[in-house]
Chains A and B, each alone.
Chain A
Amino acid sequence: MPLINVKNITVTYGKHKVIDNLSFSLEEGDFLCIVGPNGSGKSTLLKAILGEAKIHSGNIILDKELKRNFIGYLPQHNNIPEDFPATVNEIVYTGLLNQTHFVSSKYKKRADDALKTLGISSLKNDSYSNLSGGQRQKVLLARALCATSKLLILDEASNNLDYNSKSSFYALLKKINKTENLTIIMVTHDLDHKNLLGNKILSLDHDSPFFGSTDEYVRRIHAH
């Protein structure tokens, strides 16, 4: 049984059909990249999977095992006010709240590990409002990593990351996808990396809709 089964979904905003009769399914351990031009409905699809956007017709069936508290999500736009007084640790800990009520030291360890893998351990007691754009993005990534144990949903997560951070972040994603059998869905415009990342691709481009393996997608691009 697939982990996520999207069956003939249509999502509309008013009269505007953003997603029109889309179907695909993912197995546990899949790494899906979603590509497509601005406004093609990538973020909307993620919101539909998370239950944040209303589906007009069709349905999305999530595996019974995939409970809310196994999903980590990094939205495209974050809602944290620039000047919010909070430390990096305080923010990252909120990602643990789907597993624990009081954040004990056992869980704090997990947050420490997430900060370490993203290379921002030294910032953990710094104020979020004093960080650079890329550093903030890493904090929110760490928060999403803390919240995830089965599925990680990333909407243009590599925004604001410098070249090195981006490469090491992508390497990290590949690693946790393999070693922890974590399912990843990632929206990206980063086509340079597409043949390096993920085993499946979904293109929401109206002119060339596609769902299938990354290899096949690459072959098709080259054929054109």
Chain B
Amino acid sequence: MLTDFINMFQYDFIVRAFIAGILISVCAALLGTNLILRRQSMIGDGLSHVAFGATVIALSLGFTPLYFAIPTVLIASFLILRISNNKHINGDAAIAILSTSALAIGAVVNALSPGSNIDINSYLFGSILAINQTDIIIIAIVAIASILLYFTFYRQIFAITIDERFAKSVGIKTDLYNAILAAICSVIIVLGMHMMGALLISSLIIFPCISARLMSKSFKSIVIFSVAISVITFIFGLTASYSFNLPSGASIVCANLICFIICWVYNKLR
């Protein structure tokens, strides 16, 4: 088993998948604590569908997926932010409409474009082969910048997460922070989507935090546990994906599910 684990690193694509995946897992866990504790986890889900639609459209029309999907999802995230700030609109329903529309348009464009042979399955459930040379550079830059930003503004982000109104009253620019968080979330979802799969990327944001929550009584410990759980389940999941030839996203989510059950049992027995 251990030699299998070491042997798999002789392949470049595996090394890339590990580096990219760990960076994305850390970012997803950090964003996840923010989204979950503010009860906005559906935003991640909505954005992942938009990312999928945009990627399929880009491939059908022959654009580079990243360069088309990132701006599209950024725009969608700002729309969602506006929608969820508006008391007169039913936020959940509006996000569902936006995300299913993006999905539908993607599927229609794909069906209409002649000779399209996109492996939809790999985009839905994730592929271990997904990360190429350019991707890894973009992922590394974005992820490291996001992580640094998060820890530099850790207290401010906590203040906004727990009580946005009070945060505003002590002079924190809440709208700016919300916009930056939404932007990072969009980019991470697009970057992580191909490896995790459009249907599963949002679980990378949600699962670690809800497992961590079962073990923690402070915000700090939630953040630490989320990151740890996210990285560990990723490593197990990707190893299983390689060893048993499973879709990578599905296998990582299964690892998260097992981790959640362990945390839940621990929480009950404590």
Contacts and interface: CB of A to CB of B under 8 A. Distances in A.
B84 interface: no
B217 interface: yes
Given A50-B169, A102-B155, A147-B170, A127 B162 contact: no
Interface residues of A, number: 32
A57 interface: no
Nearest to A97: B170
A85 B220 CA distance: 9
Contacts of A98: 170-171
Contact of A68 (B167, B171, B217): B171
B159 interface: yes
A143 B166 contact: yes
Given A87-B217, A98-B171, A80 B155 contact: no
Contacts of B158: 86, 90, 94
A79 B156 CA distance: 16
Interface in A83-110: 84-87, 90-91, 93-95, 97-98, 101-103
Interface string B210-246: 0001001111111000000000000000000000000
Contacts of B169: 50, 52, 71, 73, 147
A68 B222 CA distance: 31
B218 A86 contact: yes
A78 interface: yes
A218 to B, nearest CB: 33
Interface string B147-179: 000000001101100111111011110000000
Interface of A: 50, 52, 68-69, 71, 73, 75, 78-81, 84-87, 90-91, 93-95, 97-98, 101-103, 125-127, 129-130, 143, 147
Interface of B: 37, 39, 155-156, 158-159, 162-167, 169-172, 213, 216-222
13 contacts: A68-B171, A75-B165, A79-B164, A80-B163, A81-B39, A90-B158, A94-B155, A94-B170, A97-B156, A101-B155, A103-B155, A126-B217, A130-B217
